[in-house]
Amino acid sequence: MRILLVLILVAQTTVGFTQPGVARELVIKGKHYFEHDVEAGNTLWGLQKMYGVDVEEIIAENPELKDGIKVGQKLLIPKITNEVSETEVFSDYKVKNSETLYGLSKKFNTTVDRLIELNPELSEGLKKGQTIKVPGNFKDEETETQIEKVEEVKEVVPNPFVVESTKEDGTKESVKISFSDSTIRHSVLAHETMYSISKRFMVSIDEIMKKNGLTSSSVKEGQVLIIPVKSERIERVDVKKVPDYLANKGPGVSKIVKKDEYTIALFLPFFLEYGSGYSEYVANLSAQFYMGAMLAVDTLEAKGLRAKLHVFDTRNDSITIAKLLQNSIFDKVDLVIGPLLGENVNQVATFCKNREIRMVCPVTSDSYVLENNPYFFSAVPSNITLMNGLAKFMVNNYSKDNIVLIKPTDKKSLPLYESFRKAFNETPFNGSRPHLVETTIDNFNTFIKRGVNTRFVVPTVDKTTAMKFMNNLNRSAFRSSANDLFVYGTKEWVNFTDINNVYKNKYNFHFPSPNHLDYYEEKVVGLNKVYRSRYKTDISKMAVQGYDVLLYFSSSFFLEGKSINLIMNNFNMKSISTSDGQENSNVFIIEQDDFNLLNVGETH
């Protein structure tokens, strides 16, 4: 392989998050969507009410729903554009006796979500005398005369719906959806509020209160609520063959054409000319990745791969990366690896998708980059995927232990908490499913049992939260032997030096990791000898990542998956659908033992 080094820079992209709830807003081919993560209790009927979008529109965007709604699915919900003007006027309103959030949403011609967005404290319930912000310009004492009364319109359910979809082979398929009234009994969990329950089952607070004869929206742990829901029935309808000239072939990745010589582009922020955004740390990581990749070049050549590797200095600038992508070399590039900086990834990914060029991101990337881009490959599993892997591992290996899930106090970690919870409860299991205890940092000590292995899962990336848990655990450890206590955090904890390492060792600290490097392993020692000989220094973890990524993906794409020996990774690439990119789903479970990090298991 010949090497060509070119100088240039990289780009930035952001994504917005919005309501309803915490659904993320996406823009796909100019159309706005909410991404909804299906959880226990969600229904098609509820989705229709929550987002104000007819069921047939939802299924049209998510054909897999013809088989029914399933926990864990990610659904695209068309967004009804209703942007708020920057000059929107708000007023203060004093809550009166017996008023509910649902009633106020109708009174002020808005939604419950909008009221909670304006008044976050309302997620804990509504109280008489409370002053809240509401949309509109009016005086409180004149509310009754200035706010138009909203006529109560009896809701007509379009029953049944008939939704048509087209399969990849061109066959048109229809499903018939019908709804019927039903109820379920729900036992309130410790962390739940009336608002969170209404969001989970997609039923208004007002409806739940009426069904249970409640006069207050406050709830207590263990309280049993009757939840009105709609039972759903989905039936397949006989279909006719679509003419071939109308058949939708569906998305997917075009096959790589066999060549005598392939072209690979390596994007790394070397900052060779310094400039704006220069980071010595990032520049050093780039150099290490490059050095490891060059060792992979030798291995691939020995296996018969002929390729040109073009190396570009991306720096960290959108203008520079735009100029880089104008290079004529990209008319024949077969694979792009990089860039390393997350904010630059989307710009390159979009370019590669449009040119049908495979792109591998060698570092953690945002999951939205995978969406509708089958040419994107994420070599590092996200924290969400790591939590899913940890949950599967614990179900399969510690089903008889006392497993306690701690709810983090920092909002950015809540998706990790929910991911673990879902994966734990949905992982296939033979026999009686193990029980998962859910509690908080302040109340977990009551679940410590002497003589029983207690495994605490603390899915947080926040140092303060992690420190608080470890300190609380140390104060409560007298309730059991330290050998019976196990703590499972995130990979970020390794860098939390403020947490006493003695605590980590004492309480058997574990975490899910995207990879694992054992410097004493024979294959690592062998590669390090070659690295020392060439570069006069010891190999780093980033260098090994460069070696593994270039070796694995080049072999997979161009050498029909010839046998290779990876050093610290075990790539298991998966995608949700043929229209999405692929993410590495392999998860290592790492234990800290006497200040050493040991691999105690894997899952994917």
CA 534 to CA 556: how far, in whole Å? 27
Domains 88-238 and 383-513 share a fold: no
How is the chain split into domains, by residue range? 2-12+252-378, 88-238, 383-513
Q: How far is CA 294 from CA 180, 215, 261, 302, in A?
A: 63, 70, 17, 13
Angle at 182 between CA 180 and CA 188, to 5 degrees: 145
> Cis peptide leading into 120, omega within 30 of 0?
no
pLDDT digits (tens, 9 = 90+) for 326-381: 999 999 999 999 898 877 898 999 999 999 999 999 998 888 899 899 999 999 99
Helix (H, G, I), strand (E, B) or coil at 454: strand
From the list 174, 38, 186, 182, the residue with the least C-alpha distance to 47 is 38
| pLDDT at residue 8 greater than cutoff 50 | no
pLDDT level of residue 230 (50, 70, 90 thresholds): low
- Count CB neighbours of 415 within 10 A: 16
In this prediction, residue 9 carries a pLDDT of 33
Helix (H, G, I), strand (E, B) or coil at 124: helix
How far is Cα of residue 555 from the mean position of the Cα atoms in its chain?
Answer: 28
Contact assessment for residue 517 and residue 568, using Cβ atoms and an 8 Å cutoff: yes
DSSP assignment of 389-426: HHHHHHHHH-TTSEEEEEEPSSGGGHHHHHHHHHHHHH
Topology of domain 88-238, per CATH?
Answer: Membrane-bound Lytic Murein Transglycosylase D; Chain A (3.10.350)
Poorest-confidence range of 57-71, 111-125, 166-180, 266-280? 166-180
Runs of H (alpha helix) within 52-137: 55-61, 101-107, 112-118
pLDDT level of residue 87 (50, 70, 90 thresholds): low
Q: What percent of the chain has pLDDT over 90?
A: 39
pLDDT digits (tens, 9 = 90+) for 433-467: 888 999 999 999 888 888 889 999 999 999 999 99
pLDDT level of residue 6 (50, 70, 90 thresholds): very low
Residue with tokens 């054409």: 257
pLDDT digits (tens, 9 = 90+) for 303-316: 999 999 999 998 88
Which residues sit opposite 407 in a β-bridge? 440
In this prediction, residue 483 carries a pLDDT of 83
Among the ranges 248-252, 395-399, 499-503, which has the highest mean pLDDT value? 395-399
CA 459 to CA 383: how far, in whole Å? 9
When comparing pLDDT for 17 and 348, which is higher? 348
Q: Has domain 383-513 been given CATH number 3.40.50.2300?
A: yes
| pLDDT at residue 232 greater than cutoff 80 | no
How far is Cα of residue 433 from the mean position of the Cα atoms in its chain?
Answer: 25
| pLDDT at residue 12 greater than cutoff 50 | no
Q: What is the mean pLDDT of the chain?
A: 80
Burial class from Cβ neighbours inside 10 Å (0-12, 13-18, 19+) for residue 366 reads: middle
In this prediction, residue 299 carries a pLDDT of 93
From the list 298, 267, 275, 272, the residue with the least C-alpha distance to 283 is 272
> What's the mean pLDDT in 314-327?
86
In this prediction, residue 174 carries a pLDDT of 53
CA 369 to CA 350: how far, in whole Å? 9
Poorest-confidence range of 70-84, 474-488, 551-565, 570-584? 70-84
Question: 541-558 and 522-535 helices cross at what angle (nearest 10)?
Answer: 100
Q: CB within 8 A of 432, min separation 6: which ones? A: none
When comparing pLDDT for 253 and 366, which is higher? 366
Q: What is the H or E stretch that residue 282 is in?
A: helix 280-302
pTM: 0.60
Domain 2-12+252-378, CATH: 3.40.50.2300
Residue with tokens 């979009």: 350
CA 426 to CA 436: how far, in whole Å? 12
pLDDT digits (tens, 9 = 90+) for 162-203: 343 334 444 445 555 555 556 778 888 877 788 778 777 777
Among the ranges 364-378, 490-504, 530-544, which has the highest mean pLDDT value? 530-544
| pLDDT at residue 517 greater than cutoff 80 | yes
| pLDDT at residue 235 greater than cutoff 70 | no
- Count CB neighbours of 585 within 10 A: 18
Among the ranges 69-73, 91-95, 170-174, which has the highest mean pLDDT value? 91-95
pLDDT digits (tens, 9 = 90+) for 376-409: 999 999 999 999 999 999 999 998 899 999 999 8
CA 486 to CA 498: how far, in whole Å? 19
In this prediction, residue 107 carries a pLDDT of 78
Contact assessment for residue 408 and residue 489, using Cβ atoms and an 8 Å cutoff: no
